[in-house]
């Protein structure tokens, strides 16, 4: 088995690559609810419900990059959905695309180091899964 390096995983908002990221995470979940009855033979039973997802990323601030902290903040203030693409750029790799809202931004101020930032994108709707063409 060959492990896959996350280096080639990219994040685009609209059609612009988000530069300066050091870590990205796609998180997906389905609501769960209990459906246990007296007929469940002493074992809990569950079903899944609605989907929710988010893309979380961290980076190092560089004002020369596309989607700087200031631009992310401006986009968040508009409160409008933004198209996103998340995935590996290699041919044959799976990518996910859809719409999201910027729901959280955070910026640090270390005494002696690069300025870190983080962002949470809440996925709205169900993202599409596709394969990067060769």
Q: What is the pLDDT of residues 108-120, one digit of tens each?
A: 998 998 889 999 9
The confidence band for 65, taking pLDDT boundaries of 50, 70 and 90, is confident
Percentage of residues of the chain with pLDDT beyond 90 = 57
79 occurs within a structural domain: yes
DSSP code of residue 30? E
100 occurs within a structural domain: yes
39 occurs within a structural domain: no
Nearest 10 degrees: CA dihedral of 121, 29, 95, 76?
-10
The confidence band for 7, taking pLDDT boundaries of 50, 70 and 90, is low
Give per-residue pLDDT as tens, 19-45.
888 899 999 999 999 999 999 999 999
pLDDT at 54 over 60: yes
The CATH code of the domain that includes 125 is 2.30.110.20
pLDDT in the model for residue 12: 87
* Residues pairing with 84 in the sheet: 13, 98
Name the token pair of 130: 């596709």
CA neighbours closer than 13 Å in the CB half-sphere of residue 124: 10
Q: Which one, of 88, 107, 90, 86, lies nearest residue 98 by Cα?
A: 86
Name the token pair of 45: 């039973």
107 occurs within a structural domain: yes
Is pLDDT larger for residue 82 or for residue 3? 82
Q: What b/e sequence results for 76-100 when a residue is b if at least 16 CB atoms lie within 10 Å of its CB, and e otherwise?
A: beeeeebebbbbbeeeeeebbebeb
123 occurs within a structural domain: yes
Mean pLDDT over residues 73-88, rounded?
92
37 occurs within a structural domain: no
73 occurs within a structural domain: yes
- Specify the number of domains making up the chain: 1
Domain interval for residue 17? 10-30+47-131
67 occurs within a structural domain: yes
């Amino acid at each position: 088995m060959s492990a896959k390096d996350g280096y080639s995983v990219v994040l685009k908002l609209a059609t612009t690559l988000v530069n300066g990221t050091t870590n990205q995470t796609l998180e997906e979940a389905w609501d769960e609810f209990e459906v246990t009855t007296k007929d469940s033979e002493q074992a809990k039973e569950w079903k899944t419900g609605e989907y929710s997802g988010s893309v979380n990323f961290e980076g190092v601030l560089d004002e020369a990059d596309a989607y700087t902290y200031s631009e992310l903040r401006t986009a968040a203030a508009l409160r409008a959905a933004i198209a996103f693409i998340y995935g590996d750029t290699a041919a044959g790799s799976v990518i996910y695309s859809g719409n999201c809202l910027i729901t959280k931004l955070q910026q640090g101020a270390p005494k002696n180091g690069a300025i870190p930032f983080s962002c949470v994108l809440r996925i709205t709707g169900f993202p599409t899964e596709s394969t990067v063409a060769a």
